[in-house]
Amino acid sequence: MVGSFARSVAAPVDGDRDARALRPLPDDEPMRRAREGALEVEVGPGDTVFDIAARYGVSTASVLALNGLGWRSTLTAGQTVLVKPVEARPAPVSVADELHRHRVSEDETVSSIAQRHGVATAAVLLANGLSRGSTVRAGQQLVIPVPNLRRTGSGAVTLTGEMRENAAVIVTVGREAGVPDDGIVVALTAAMQDSSLHNLPFGEGDAVGLFQQRPSLGWGDELALLEPRAAATAFFGGAGSGVVAPATGLLDVGGWEFMAVGEAAHAVQRLASPAAYGKWERAARGWLHEIEHPRG
């Protein structure tokens, strides 16, 4: 998930500037050329930049740039924005392309949509610029985030940036706690499925962090859980972990060693199905080996 996520615009405008007022655009030759052929589009009730960009088949970033908006800008019904449609080009639509967006149906929630697509609720919230209390409406389109992963010629998944750093923390904490390879693989699959190995400051309900742990369910203090080492320690749990919480860590699950990786992750997390966690097992074993035996 994801190295970086595209965000639709849903957050308040910074400062006291009126939401209708766009940032002054430079009146230079490059900007004049960029605006040539642009359409003036009136913002409808509830529209975001992403909604308008999707409607005209252009990128969210292009609409932001054309109007001098930032990622955290908001739109107001009646406001006019510029959109420059791209000349239509026939191109086949793959199944993978179709899965990157989801049109909301009646009675759907962000949580149910995330579960349907096998991704973390927190990742969907982040990808669409939504917060815990945000609601979605029928007909709205949501981005379904796909992890920003690189695959080698052998098909192995390579982590980059923040994802690799967080995976390394999980491995280190697991080793310090004496957790065997299978247990560390369980933790890596759990973090990949539930946060895309990103240290998210929000999620479903009051969930936060790498493992989307909820303080209200006994996982501990929110600020502590936003520290990757503390979150990993809480996930493993067990005797000597130093975590005082009624939540069940992996080492507290009787017989976890005899479970399939996905089943063991589900026994701790309970945020997705065993199969959703299990699909990352092969990749996680590769991550563990690469982190502990990096190539020179």
Do 181 and 243 lie in a common domain? yes
Predicted confidence (pLDDT) per residue in 153-201, tens digit: 444 567 878 889 999 999 999 999 899 999 999 999 999 888 888 888 8
Co-location of 274 and 157 in the same domain: yes
The pTM assigned to this predicted structure is 0.54
Distance CA 169, CA 182 (A): 16
Range of the domain at 163: 150-292
Q: Which two tokens stand for residue 44?
A: 């409808």
Q: How far apart are CA 64 and CA 66, in angstroms?
A: 6
* Residues 188/284, Cβ–Cβ less than 8 Å: yes
d(CA 166, CA 190): 12
Is the domain of 138 the same as that of 166?
no
Residues 136 and 156 in one domain: no
Position with higher pLDDT, 266 vs 153: 266
At 272, which CATH number? 1.10.530
Task: Assess whether 167 and 117 both reside in one domain.
Answer: no
Same domain, 125 and 257: no
The answer to whether residues 176 and 223 belong to one domain is yes
107 domain-assigned: yes
Higher pLDDT, 287 or 47: 287
Whether 112 and 196 map to the same domain: the answer is no
Q: In total, how many domains does the chain have? A: 2
Residues 106 and 199 in one domain: no
Pairing of strands 80-83, 39-42: antiparallel
